[in-house]
Structure 1
Amino acid sequence: MATPSEPIVRRKLSAQVFERLKTMVTDGTLKPGDAMPSERELMERFGVGRPAIREAMQTLGNIGLIAISHGERARVLPLTPHSVISQVDLAAEIMLSTSPAALDHLKEARIFFERGIVRQAAEKASPQDVAALRALLDEQEAALGSPDIFIAADMRFHTRIAAICGNPIFEAVSGAMLGWLKTYHTEMLIWTGKENVTLVEHHEILDAITRNDAGEAEAALIRHLERSRALYVHQAS
């Protein structure tokens, strides 16, 4: 009885070059900071034309494995949680701009994520962590009336809480979600005059963290995010 045959799929040359170059990066042949071989070297090594090399290099650049600069050799980048997660920034921006439902889902996801973060941060916070958060609130209070500076300090306050946990993925995800939400936030915040309310709520969160009270820190954060979620509005709403 004959067995079913599988079709032979011809892979693009650039895809094969990409796999070989990716292996050179992931197996340590090329380390962060190293210059990539020149196009001519790669053409001779792999026996392919310049278009295949350039397409493969562009793919490596698009996923954050290398940095491509005009007139210079491409260089290998270190992979970090931030660099990996930032690769979806453009896709997230498009998704949010075309879907009010996606914005609602993101706001819900942020609350779900940050309530766990703040509990762990409250349990782990040192006097130095508390001092850093207090300094950020001082910056935010000094920025009243300056929307961009106020919002930037607001974002740093939340990402600094995530950093207390000691998990760089927490910090990267927190920063990414705040960055995606920012477009839908600033004008509504200033227009509704909620800056002082935000500061009061941030102080409540910080007071609980200072006492290492995980339960109250979570409750204060939920109150803050549930109240402020109404300030993120999709243009199509």
Structure 2
Amino acid sequence: MSTPPSTFPIKRQRLFDQVAQHLEAMILSGEVGVGDPLPSERELMERFGVGRPAVREALLWLNKKGLISVSAGERARVVEPDPSELLEHLSGAALLFASTPRGMQQFQQTRLFTEVALAREACRWTSADDLKRLEQLLRDNEASAGNMETFARTDDAFHFGIASLAHNPLIDALYRSVLSVLQNQRYTSLQHHDALHAAIDCHTRIFDAIAARDPDRAEQVMRTHLTNVESFYWDVRGKPARHPPDAAADASQAAEKPRKKTN
């Protein structure tokens, strides 16, 4: 008895999917530029040979993807991409992923890689005005040490201040997204008895390294700081942090013997 041939089902595309794909190709090719209106609904119906419902569903889908804006009584227009919107639709899935130990560890690792690079590059990018703004964020954070909620908020502001030195809206959006996902880590790690002192000490040394245009020192202190934060988080959670041996040792030493604050 012969074996029946394998089957490969063909997915049937809905009409609005096909219309949306054609319109997206028009936008991405530059046929319709940023700020330009798309053809009217009637023109699109005639062009694609479909009814109004298919056209409207396609426009709503493109609007959801952030490619066009749709307003009642007006023709849809191609919009300038907003980096924050590019990442917004990932937030729900990211929070779910970070709710598992493995997901949290991978987000922590992503933050470490990102911020270490940002601290290093900040030594090249930073202007005198940038340094003044960053120093004020540092002082605000130091002054809030008596209020944990305010300290967490100003801690975020200091780190975001470093990320913003790149003057890159996509980096800003990516960093805000990562910080949002790691909100639980922030408050949990600060419950550790060494966390506050270690954070203030490292923040000061990070700022000093950036001000001195010392990329190696900025990278090393930022790595130590974020390794500390991760270690404190898992210690409070009652689980070991998973770091390479040298990073773990560096974090342990920094936590046990934090340097004195420098002016």
Does TM, scored on the shorter chain, surpass 0.5?
yes
Q: Taking every aligned residue pair, what percent have the same amino acid on both sides?
A: 35
Residue 76 of structure 1 corresponds to which residue in structure 2?
A: 78
Residue 43 of structure 1 corresponds to which residue in structure 2?
A: 45
Residue 3 of structure 1 corresponds to which residue in structure 2?
A: none
Residue 28 of structure 2 corresponds to which residue in structure 1?
A: 26
State how 1:1-237 maps to structure 2 within 5 Å.
Answer: 10-34=12-36, 39-40=41-42, 42-68=44-70, 75-97=77-99, 99-144=100-145, 147=148, 149-182=150-183, 184-192=184-192, 194-232=195-233
Is the Cα contact below 8 Å between 2:152 and 2:187 reproduced in 1? no
Aligned length: 230
Residue 247 of structure 2 corresponds to which residue in structure 1?
A: none
Is the Cα contact below 8 Å between 1:155 and 1:175 reproduced in 2? no
Structure 1 CA distance for aligned equivalents of residues 70 and 93 of structure 2: 21
Structure 2 counterpart SS, 1:185: helix
Instruction: Give TM-score, length-normalised by structure 2.
Output: 0.71
Query: How well do the aligned residues superpose, as a CA RMSD in angstroms?
Result: 3.3
Structure 1 CA distance for aligned equivalents of residues 75 and 180 of structure 2: 31
My pick for the range that moved more, 80-89 or 213-222, is: 80-89
My pick for the range that moved more, 141-150 or 14-23, is: 141-150
Structure 1 CA distance for aligned equivalents of residues 42 and 153 of structure 2: 45
Structure 2 CA distance for aligned equivalents of residues 70 and 191 of structure 1: 50
Is the Cα contact below 8 Å between 2:91 and 2:181 reproduced in 1? yes
My pick for the range that moved more, 186-195 or 49-58, is: 186-195
1:117 CA drift (Å): 1.8
Q: Which runs of 5+ in 2 are unaligned?
A: 1-7, 240-263
Name the amino acid aligned to 2:159. H
1:205 CA drift (Å): 0.4
Q: Which runs of 5+ in 1 are unaligned?
A: 1-5
Name the amino acid aligned to 1:58. L
Structure 1 counterpart SS, 2:89: helix
Deviations 1:82-109 (A, max 9, x none): 4323332222122223x22011111112
Bigger relative contact order, structure 1 or 2 (CA pairs below 8 A, ≥6 apart): 1
Is the Cα contact below 8 Å between 1:137 and 1:157 reproduced in 2? yes
1:88 to 1:67, Cα distance in 2 relative to 1, 3 A:
farther
1:213 CA drift (Å): 0.7
Is the Cα contact below 8 Å between 1:123 and 1:213 reproduced in 2? no
Structure number, greater radius of gyration: 2
Instruction: Give TM-score, length-normalised by structure 1.
Output: 0.78
Structure 2 CA distance for aligned equivalents of residues 83 and 140 of structure 1: 29
Is the Cα contact below 8 Å between 1:118 and 1:217 reproduced in 2? yes
